[in-house]
Structure 1
């Protein structure tokens, strides 16, 4: 019987990647506090985190997540070899990500003041408004293209809850936000809960966007992506 002398080859035959073994049979990812999808304080650390962890459990692999503000989460995952990726991320045409299969869906739309009528059909209709976005977030490709062309006025904030507060106090006219994220903060943040009737989520969506893990474009990242995908 011929012995398998190559450890990487043996690991691949067993369905494990050298990168994952180097992490101690533990997949290290970064994320942000973006409830209900991902948050350190939520049961299971959020719905998307729970789904990733459940998929990895089929390989007896653990998931370890470091929660950081979004821009730091992306930077940490892409520059620190201890991590193989970050989540949740929308698909982006210009990204270097190795995207996992979809882990969920985000209903992305606009929050506005209840006493301010908002009627829009195309993105061009939004040009008169100051629109709050979170620094580093992708929106829809069409929205991002309009921003890059200088056709939409955006003001960046550090997170969704700050943007919703800016909307409440009329520092911006609209806020781009996921519907469930807005609902969470209106339930959990006292100042938004007290003013629940003052802010509305517009029924016309910017888009229904799938949510993914963005794995690093490396051999270990590809192996981890493929392993996760087989259980989704």
Structure 2
């Protein structure tokens, strides 16, 4: 059955005669989640559109990542907007299908010609990473990598530009967003390495203590599929500059 037809049948269910309110939470992560951006960011915009199509009403808050996760576990929030899959998170939350793709990529100073095919290729180079971030299991656990902790990608990019590190690591859309704004002056002097470190699907995570957690995720998936079919998904990306 086409996604839109299946979604329509779901929406006619008596259980949703009065739209259920879902409390959404995200950590500030521009351009994906940020209350200062149009639509509260690309991910927030897509998720809220899809959930409204699926028959829900939503309320949105932003808190630091640790508080968002703790609040989901305690039942303060219903849906964490921006989650990568992990076995640990699946114990307390139910994952949707991925609705966006995060490509984690290295940046170098233009013309540096650093080669990256395996992690061992990176051992001679210092790499700026944001403290507390998870990039990939292999990368995070490799003791031979020369990782330099920083507070933000902006700091990492400035260190890279100044020659204090040889590489910086960030999600591609985040990097392009920051380089197009606060770092526009050095944007043309930095470049991505061709091969990404990892590609991670971005999901919503619905708390398992919510009675219809599976139903919410499935309705969300169907709504995202319908948005792809009618062009509104692509229009949303374009509206956010992607």
Q: What band does the TM-score fall into relative to the shorter chain?
A: 0.7 to 0.9
Matching of residue 178 in structure 1 with residue 174 in structure 2: no
Matching of residue 153 in structure 1 with residue 146 in structure 2: yes
1:93 Cα offset (Å): 4.5
1:156 Cα offset (Å): 3.3
2:200 maps to what in 1?
209
SS in 2 for 1:83: coil
TM-score, normalisation: structure 1? 0.76
TM-score, normalisation: structure 2? 0.73
1:86 maps to what in 2?
80
SS in 1 for 2:121: helix
1:5 maps to what in 2?
none
2:223 maps to what in 1?
231
1:64 to 59, 67, 71: 59
Which 5+ residue runs of structure 2 have no aligned equivalent?
Answer: 1-12, 225-242
Moved more, 149-158 or 114-123: 149-158
Alignment of 1:1-232 (within 5 A): 14-16=14-16, 25-79=20-74, 81-96=75-90, 97-140=93-136, 144-189=137-182, 192-220=183-211, 221-232=213-224
Structure 2 CA distance, aligned partners of 1:145 and 1:71? 23
SS in 2 for 1:110: strand
Number of aligned residues: 208
Structure 2 CA distance, aligned partners of 1:70 and 1:164? 22
Change (3 A) 1:218 1:30: same
SS in 2 for 1:95: helix
1:119 Cα offset (Å): 0.9
Which 5+ residue runs of structure 1 have no aligned equivalent?
Answer: 1-12
Q: Assess if the C-alpha contact under 8 Å between 2:116 and 2:193 holds in 1.
A: no
Structure 1 CA distance, aligned partners of 2:218 and 2:29? 25
1:195 Cα offset (Å): 1.2
Structure 1 CA distance, aligned partners of 2:31 and 2:40? 9
Q: Assess if the C-alpha contact under 8 Å between 2:54 and 2:223 holds in 1.
A: no
